[in-house]
Every structure is written in structure tokens, then in C-alpha cells.
Structure 1
Amino acid sequence: MTEALKAPARGFERAEFEQRTAKLQQRMAQQDLDVLFLTTEPEFRYFSGFKSQFWESPTRPWFLVVPAQGLPVAVVPEIGVAGFEQTWIEDVRSWPSPRPEDDGISLLAEALTEFSRDHRRVGAMLGPETHLRMPAANFAQLEQMLGSRELVDISTLIRDLRSVKSAAEIEKIRFACEVTAAGFDYLLEHLRAGMTERQACKAMHLEMLRLGADACPYLISASGQGGYDNIIMGPTDRTLGDGDLLIIDTGANFDGYFSDFDRNYGFGRVDDEAKRAYEAVYQSTEAGLQAATPGRTTGDVWQAMWSVLEQAGALGNDVGRMGHGLGMQLTEWPSHVPGGDVLLQPGMVLTLEPGMSFAPGRMMVHEENILVTEDGCEMLHKRAWETLPIIG
């Protein structure tokens, strides 16, 4: 039995939050932003250090206000005030939530008004791949309270900052990846024909927890005779048998940071077409590894991977992208898409996820997690098997 892996330290030093906030405030100054506010868990945690499972409850809103100068201010329900003693946040303003008639909106408006007297510009996450974690009526109320102040979309600003990880963040992601890789190896040794998808996933889930993952909130699978055509719904109670192909895609979490990759397994007499498709996505990943260097673009990475799949006879790619950012969320900006113009930078953590339809109703997908370095990229975990592993 593999021993639990050595985990990195939990949390971050105060200096980490000071540096994140300083970088944010430099960008705010460039855009004449007096203040901004954050409402979603990853962004709130990124700048405050406040980590709580209470975000799972939709009842109460939480707000973090970041002025152009000085420390962030938390505007939070009274039930959460004590938790900020463990953070670097000193100014915590609260109200007795839930209070539907005014669930923190007046308090938030007061804080934003206090800090927005120069340019009268207030930032909020209003762009793609994000949302405001507050009722639409409350946001309309906030707009009214802010009067003539301009609300500015800061989603590009925030995602740019978060896309480059610190050394401490990288170590947490690396550990989550190593735990996941060990879980896949464990499953290779214990997977048998006659098991169901659900039994296979549960066995791997328990092993990842034993090895040190805090949670495995994302664990899906699909299977079928010689392939699969749906990779986002399982696991199911379908029994695995001769000729089947099984994919498991999972994201383990450690201290708030994710892994996200998959592995494929074959059972018995898998046809040659599926084996060739496996080899094609493996070689496509190799091309992605060569292309993922600083100064190249997400479009370059996509094209490098797609060229291999196209040459191998791919009928198409129905996923819409072939990889994405990774960190505090299972999927983060940017995406590897055709024509993507995001420049890769050292410190970015990305997935490479080539996928192909290799026959009608049959797919093959492969995914790995990488770190962009000064002169290329490196894997954050053990590489997948070069040929499709066959069970039984």
C-alpha cells in the first residue's frame, strides 16, 4: 500500500496577501479605479485568506472591498466575523444576515462610497466566466445607492493576476496532482471486469482521500464498447466488461487548490481503432508539451495538438477547447482555443486536454497538468501510460 504523500504547508504567509493586493492596486491605479468589490469564493479567498466551507450555503452574501490604497475591508455576515481572526484582514464590517430587506447592501454601498471619491469608478466582476454572488435585485439596489459612480468590469484584471501562480500555490497544486496520479495507479492495480463505473470511481476516491486529498468534489466517468460519447455525466452503475473503454476524469483538492486530469482504461478485447485513438491523443499531448513555452499563445498550443489529431483522422473535437487554466478552481482562464491570443507566462498552471471523435459516437480524451517555466513547461505529476492499459 502506498503511504500518504508528504503534503506542503497549509495557508500562506501574510507577505503573500500583501504582494497579491499590491499587484492588484497597481493595476487599479492604471485604470483609475478607486475601489472594487469581490463576491465569489475564489476571489474573496485569494485576497483575504478567508477559507470556509460555509460558502456552500447560498443564504448569505459575502463582500470583500479593496480600495486603491490600504488594506482590504471585509463586509460579511456576523456569523463569519470570528473567522477573520485567522486572516490578515483587520477591518471587518458586519450585519445580522439573513436580512432580505437589506442583506448587507447598505453596508457595502457605504464602504464603496467611502473609497470612491476621486475618480468615482468602482470595479466589479461583470465579464465572462464569472458571476456576482448576490441577487439581481440587490445589485440593482447597490447601483442605485452608488448614484453617478461608474461600475467597471474587472474580470480581465483579476483573471490575469490569478493566472500566474506563486511558488506556494504551485506546491499545493503539485501535491493535489501527485495524489491524483497515485490514485490512478492504484485503480490500475485494482480495476476488474465486472465492476461498475461507480465502484471504480469510489475505490479511487477513497484512495485519494487516504493519500492526503482534502476532497474530490469532481470525479466523473464514462464507458462503452470501444469508446464513449459522453464524458460529463457519470459515474453510473453500468458494468464494465470485454471491449469496453473507461475514462475517469477527476479533480482532487488540497487546501483549496485543484488537480484536473484523466486516464483511460481498456477491458479485454478492445478494438485496434480505439488503441490507435489513444496513441493519437498521447502524441497530441506530446505536441502540446513542446508548444507550451513562454511567449507562445494558447492558440499555438491548440494548433500543435490539433495538427496531430487531424493527421490521425479525427472527425472533430466537440469539447470546444483543449485545455485551460487550473488552480483555486477546477477550470480557470485561459482556454486553449483556435486562434487563442493569450500569451503563456512562467508560473501559469494549465491543463493539456486533446480530445477527438475518432468514429461516429466514439471519443478519446487525454488530459495532463503542467506548469509553464522560464524555458518551457514541466509536468506536475506522473505522465500517462504510453499505450492503453488493458484490464483482464
Structure 2
Amino acid sequence: MRFKLSAIAEDPMPESTHTRFAEHKARTCRLQADLLALGCGALFVTSEDNIQYLTGFKSPVWNNLTRPHYLIVPAKGEPILISPANYAVIAEQTTWITDVRTWVSPNPEDDGVSLVVDALRSSTDAMKKIAAELGPQSRLTMPAGDFLRIQKMLQRVEFVDGHALLMSYRVVKSASEIERIQVAATAASRALNELPTIARSGQSLYDLAQALKMRIIELGAQDVPYMVGVSGQGGYPCVNLAPDHRPLRSGDVFVFDVAARYDGYYCDFDRDYAVGAPSVEVRSAYRRLWEATEAAIDAVKPGLRMSDIWQVMAKELGGVQQARSAKVGRLGHSIGLRLCEEPSIGEADHTVIRANMVLTLEPSLVLKPSSGRQADRRIMVHEENILVTETGCRLMSLRTPKEMPIIQE
């Protein structure tokens, strides 16, 4: 059981077309002007995606939580990257930052904290506010105790949220960011479209997932950090379980929710399949989800709000209560350097849609409510990726078939 093997795809974005440091520098210059306007002396950054967004710093070492990384963007002057000494070469080869300060890590007594405090003191000057990743959906990628130590050592400075400012830039993608997401989306789409040709009743989702990951990488993605695979008779209970070893059988409906990545940028969409002929109820649910997604594709355009698109899909699903019933909190979201970014296509999210946003459309339906155990319920979910254009939107994922794909028994 495997896809037809082919040579690994050539890099779809060869070095000559890769984002140059000019794009990272331009983002930082804009950020510095906004920091001044907000009365902040600096922005303190610790998360992988935001450091990559501003500097280009990129390496698998982020999987090692032993050693933290810090970026200080002063309102005036050159940014400062503070990194463990054995990672200095990464800074040299993947970033444009010239002021790189290092220490030997791990050092629990002082894992870069004194370097951070010195840099923040010199950067903030007379300004009494420092922006940091403190807002909703943000993360400090450092020990919480060390952050509290930094605050204590800078008692005269107020730490305020800088996450909202960063996301105000990141929500609108550049041409090079869109190109990266498109590479990942195309690879994942093609592999998922091929799945019915190799899947059979009796195989496990685990085995299919391994083959699927390999195929996505063959087709041009660099990795597949996130893959959900869930099955069940007449639907599945959720869309957040890892693929298991249970053999697929007639009457099963299963979903693969895939987030492939290229150069740090994610796609994120799913595909539903039936093992053998699906029931009338499953066919109907699949069609309603397809129509809800289609209505959203037709409706999306700059100037509308995310909540408007939620209402469009809710109407096709059967109304507000039906749209709320899966209890997922939204019907889509933004994507980029994070799998799930702000804003969300939510009932109460009134963010204005802008050109060059990259969004997921993700309607869901409950086919069978829970009878006590959530594992007993049955749902289905559709998901596509779109790019908002000046006049509407275009698909980045290849559109799922209008009729449900069937796996031979």
C-alpha cells in the first residue's frame, strides 16, 4: 500500500526567488515607527514565528526548549538578537541581524536573562514601556520564571502587549509569503486527491497517514508537522485525534486534516472520504458542507467582516444554532507562520477582511449529538484555503469534489 513513488520534487522556490533580507528589514522599520507612536521603547520577542517573521531566523532547534532565544527591537537603533552561543552560526546564515549577543546555554542561573535586561535598558532609554507577546493567542517561548525576573529587574518599566501590533502586520501576507503557502497547499492537495487510488477497506489510518506524509513531501512540501486522521461509522467524533491502527471497514467515514509546511509557512485543510457507499445522511451532510464552503467562497471580499462570512456559512448549514452545535467556536481562521492565526471566522469576530489575507473556510455539521460521551457523537467538517484578492478570493487548495470520494471495500 503506497502511492506511486516519484523523485522528490525540485525546490519550487529556488534560492533566486527566496525572500531577501530586505523584506525582513522593511517589516522591522515599520514596526519601529509604530513602537515610537505607541510610546514603547522596544519590543521583546521570544516566539519562533515572530522571530522568523522579523529576522529570518530559521532552524529545527526550536524543538529544543532547553535553550531560549530572544529578539529586542528598539524603537530606535539596530535590533538585538540574543541567542545561545552554539546557535550563533544560525543567526549568521539565516538572519540580517548584525548585533548578535550570545551566552553558553543551558545555564539555569542566568539563561540569557542578564543580556536581555542590559539590552532592554539600553534600548528603552527614557521611555517607560516595553511591548511583549502578552495578548490573546500569544505565547512566551521562555521560562515564565525568567520573564518574571526580567520584570522585577526592570521595575520602572511597564510591560504592555505587543502581540496585537505584530499580528496587524502578519494578517496581510506579502507576495513571497503567499507563494510559500501555495507551495504547501498544492502539494497537500495533490496528495489528498490521490488518496482514493491507494486506500482500501482493512487498512489503518496510521498506515495511510505515513504514506500521505511521504507523498506530500515528494510533491514539494518540506514537512508535515500536523496531520489528524479520525474515522467512525456514519461520521467521526472530532477532528483532533492522531491516526490510529484500527482497520477501516465498510460504513466508515474518515477525515484527514493536513497542515503541510514550506519554508515555515503552513497550509491547513481537510478532506472527507467514505469506505463503501455512504448513507443518505452522510451524503446530505457532505453536500451541505460543500455548499456552505461554496457560498463563503462566493461571498468573501475585502470590506466584509469575518462575522459576515460566518453568517453566510451558518445560513447554508441550517441556521445559527446548527452552526454553533459542533462547539468549535469558529468556522475558519487565518494561516501563515502559525497553523492557526488571528483573526477567526467567528460569530463575534468583526475584523475587516483585507486583500492578501490567507484564510481557511471550515464549516462543520453535527450528524449525531453526544449521548453522554463525546466520543459517541458524529460530525463532519469541510475545509479549504483561500487568498483574498482585491475583488473577491481565489482557492489555494484544490477544491474538494462536489460528491464524496469513495474508498473501495
Gaps of 5+ in 1: none
1:330 is aligned to 2:339: yes
Deviations, residues 109-166 of structure 1 (Å, cap 9, x unaligned): 0000101113221110111111211222211110111120111111111111111110
What CA distance in whole angstroms lies between the structure 1 residues aligned with 2:319 and 2:111? 57
Cα displacement (A) at 1:5: 6.8
Match of 1:391 in 2: 407
Q: How does 1:109-258 map to 2 (within 5 A)?
A: 109-258=117-266
2:53 pairs, out of 33, 41, 46, with 46
What CA distance in whole angstroms lies between the structure 1 residues aligned with 2:189 and 2:92? 36
Deviations, residues 28-54 of structure 1 (Å, cap 9, x unaligned): 122111111100100011111110111
Contact 2:202–2:249 (Cα < 8 Å) also in 1: yes
Aligned residues: 392
Contact 1:318–1:357 (Cα < 8 Å) also in 2: no
What CA distance in whole angstroms lies between the structure 2 residues aligned with 1:19 and 1:347? 18
Q: How does 1:4-19 map to 2 (within 5 A)?
A: 4=9, 7-9=12-14, 11-19=18-26
Give the letter aligned to residue 32 of structure 2: Q
| CA RMSD, 1 decimal | 1.6
What stretches of structure 1 move > 3 A for 4+ residues in a row? Answer: 1-6, 311-315
What CA distance in whole angstroms lies between the structure 1 residues aligned with 2:321 and 2:277? 22
Cα displacement (A) at 1:284: 0.5
Identical columns (%): 39
Contact 1:300–1:340 (Cα < 8 Å) also in 2: no
Shift in alpha-carbon separation, 1:278–1:313, aligned structure 2, 3 A = farther
Structure 1, 63-72 or 168-177: larger mean CA deviation: 63-72
What CA distance in whole angstroms lies between the structure 2 residues aligned with 1:326 and 1:248? 18
Match of 2:90 in 1: 83
What CA distance in whole angstroms lies between the structure 2 residues aligned with 1:342 and 1:246? 33
What CA distance in whole angstroms lies between the structure 2 residues aligned with 1:158 and 1:69? 17
Give the letter aligned to residue 32 of structure 1: G
Deviations, residues 78-132 of structure 1 (Å, cap 9, x unaligned): 1111222222110001111111111111110000010111322111011111121
What CA distance in whole angstroms lies between the structure 1 residues aligned with 2:14 and 2:99? 27
Cα displacement (A) at 1:313: 9.2
Contact 1:48–1:72 (Cα < 8 Å) also in 2: no
What CA distance in whole angstroms lies between the structure 1 residues aligned with 2:275 and 2:192? 16
Deviations, residues 279-321 of structure 1 (Å, cap 9, x unaligned): 0000010111122211111111111111110259948222111
Match of 1:318 in 2: 327
TM-score (normalised: structure 2)? 0.93
Match of 2:373 in 1: none
Give the letter aligned to residue 352 of structure 2: L
What CA distance in whole angstroms lies between the structure 2 residues aligned with 1:285 and 1:95? 51
